[in-house]
């Protein structure tokens, strides 16, 4: 897919992996719309890169339809979707004093990370399906964000790991569903990356986490995620695949 001049939607685009991807795609000549809950930061990032911002709750169909409509008015129909929106909690199945995991918090993580990701995919792909095919027959491409936790979930990550495993599991069937429409989908499963959440940890903790990566023994840079997302968009044979981006890391139980 030739990227220059196309339009993209990036969920979770106000920070971290989403922001890095938005900035990289904008440099490639793509008109970018950032979808995020953080209005102040989102508008700032969008203005800095010449993009468009929409305040979005990915679990809301009505909110998403409005945001997609506004994005189309500003940048034209999106042929690229990158899903980076997500939340994380730490809670054991049975915690201290034998207290069971709160069901509401489990449902919330699944709702945002898994259901929210699918919500954006289904609505954006329906719009892509209406577009004329590009040379080679492509109409669009979707890049999802899972995590190595989908395969190597640690203690206290049951909700997060389940939500990301769901994203992994739906990648191939969605690719098959959308194949006749010329819409591709891949999922990136990052390891330990220097996102704002990671950077909030003490320096010695960050260093120890980085040292646990076989090679390169450091935290991943958000732009390294963005580079892979861009390559997926460009390479028409990348479809239905889940790609670990983790420096050969396999997470220990804790």
Of 160, 170, 184, 229, which one is the catalytic site residue?
Answer: 160
Predicted TM-score (pTM) of this structure = 0.96
Residue 149, judged by CB atoms within 10 A of its CB (0-12, 13-18, 19+), counts as: buried
- Output the pLDDT for position 201: 78
160 part of the active site: yes
- Output the pLDDT for position 205: 86
Instruction: Show me where the domains of the chain are located.
Output: 7-192+221-243
Query: pLDDT grade, residue 196 (50/70/90)?
Result: confident
- Output the pLDDT for position 154: 92
pLDDT at residue 198 greater than cutoff 90 = no
Return the CATH number of 7-192+221-243, one of 3.40.50.300, 3.40.50.720, 3.30.9.30, 3.30.930.10: 3.40.50.720
Mean predicted confidence (pLDDT) in 37-48: 97
Query: pLDDT grade, residue 199 (50/70/90)?
Result: confident
Which of 20-24, 87-91, 224-228, 242-246 has the lowest average pLDDT?
87-91
CB neighbour list of residue 98: distance below 8 Å, 6 or more residues apart: none
End-to-end CA distance of the chain: 41
């Amino acid at each position: 897919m030739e990227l220059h001049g196309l339009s993209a939607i990036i969920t979770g685009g106000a920070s971290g992996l989403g922001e890095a991807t938005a900035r990289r795609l904008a440099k490639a000549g793509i008109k970018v719309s950032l979808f995020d809950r953080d209005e102040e930061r989102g508008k700032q990032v969008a203005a800095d890169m010449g993009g468009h911002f929409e305040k979005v709750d990915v679990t809301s169909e009505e909110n998403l339809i409005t945001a997609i409509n506004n994005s189309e008015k500003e940048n034209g129909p999106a042929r690229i979707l990158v899903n980076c929106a997500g939340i994380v909690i730490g809670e054991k199945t049975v915690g201290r004093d034998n207290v069971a995991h709160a069901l509401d918090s489990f449902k919330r993580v699944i709702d945002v990370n898994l259901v929210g990701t699918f919500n954006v995919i289904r609505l954006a792909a329906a719009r892509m399906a209406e577009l004329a095919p590009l040379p080679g027959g492509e109409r669009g491409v979707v890049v999802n964000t899972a995590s190595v936790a989908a395969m190597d979930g640690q203690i206290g990550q049951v909700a997060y790991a389940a939500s990301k495993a769901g994203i992994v599991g739906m990648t191939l069937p969605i690719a098959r569903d959308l194949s006749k429409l010329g819409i591709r989908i891949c999922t990136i499963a990052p390891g330990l990356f220097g996102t704002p959440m990671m950077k909030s940890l003490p320096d010695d903790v960050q260093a120890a986490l980085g040292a646990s990566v076989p090679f390169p023994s450091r935290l991943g840079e958000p732009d390294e995620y963005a580079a892979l997302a861009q390559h997926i968009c460009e390479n028409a044979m990348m479809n239905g695949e889940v790609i670990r981006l983790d420096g050969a890391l396999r997470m220990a139980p804790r």
